Amino acid sequence: MPDPTDARDQGIRPLTVEEAARRRRPRPRFDPSRPLAPALLERLLETAAHAPSPYELQPWRFLVVRDAADRRRLQGCARNDPEVGRAAAVVVVLGYHQPERTDLEPLLARRVASGGCTAEQAAAIRGRARSVLRDVAGRELWATRAAMLAAATLVLAAGSLGVDAALVDDFDAEAVRREFGVPDDHAVCGLVALGYAEVEAEGPSPCLAGSRLGLDESAFAGHFGRPWAP
């Protein structure tokens, strides 16, 4: 049965990454009457899970908050941001501090079984990963870096399939931890609110037009401070 909320099932071409990035609205006002189909939400999460990560350890977890009462609780942890309550779903993106303890061996076994690498290559990956991670002192920062790549991928995936997304970074991480049972070895990295805006947008975002730093301001050529040149 076609999914009425999925752009592909309506015969609409999914946006490219470039189009999704340029059409992104920084703070959409969500329409609380429009739900997000479970199959579409799952598709977005699966896409986000393909984000790059060190040694492909995928040190992120997605805590998906859909129930209205739970979203109101989460809203209270996010300085009462109204869009957290109005969104169809909010994904709390977590960064797992110690993925090599629980995930490294199973993931390597899957890669060998699927032909993604040989047993010898898996042994080399295992050795490098354990050696490097042994020396990582700031595990929360390490996990947050990877988790936010997954969050960015989720935002772009949503835009590609016609879903509006807002990255919420003004929240009380400890309050989120208490309210939703997040263990201490997981960092609360960010919230991604998902849903449909009250007013549909077409074309490049007028909110962002003219407000982006140019490459002459944000990119350097070979050395910090050296002007960018194509």
pLDDT value at position 102? Answer: 96
| Closest to 91 measured CA to CA, from 210, 192, 229, 6 | 192
Which pair of structure tokens corresponds to residue 162? 């016609």
Residues 74, 77, 80, 82: is their CA dihedral positive or negative?
Answer: negative
Classify 14-100+138-218 by CATH class: alpha beta
At residue 94, what are phi and psi to the nearest 5 degrees?
Answer: -110, 150
pLDDT value at position 12? Answer: 63
Q: What is the pTM of this model?
A: 0.88
pLDDT value at position 93? Answer: 98
CB count within 10 Å of CB 144 equals: 22
pLDDT value at position 132? Answer: 95
DSSP 169: -
Which pair of structure tokens corresponds to residue 146? 């990877």
Q: Which segments of the chain are extended strands (E)?
A: 60-65, 89-96, 164-168, 186-195
Per residue, the 3-state secondary structure of 183-214, as one string, reads CCCEEEEEEEEEECECCCCCCCCCCCCCCCCC
CB count within 10 Å of CB 84 equals: 24
Rounded to whole angstroms, the Cα distance separating 161 from 115 reads 31
In the predicted model, residues of the chain with pLDDT beneath 70 are: 1-12, 201-210
| Closest to 48 measured CA to CA, from 96, 93, 99 | 93
Rounded to whole angstroms, the Cα distance separating 160 from 109 reads 33
Boundaries of every domain in the chain: 14-100+138-218
| Closest to 143 measured CA to CA, from 96, 190, 177, 100 | 96
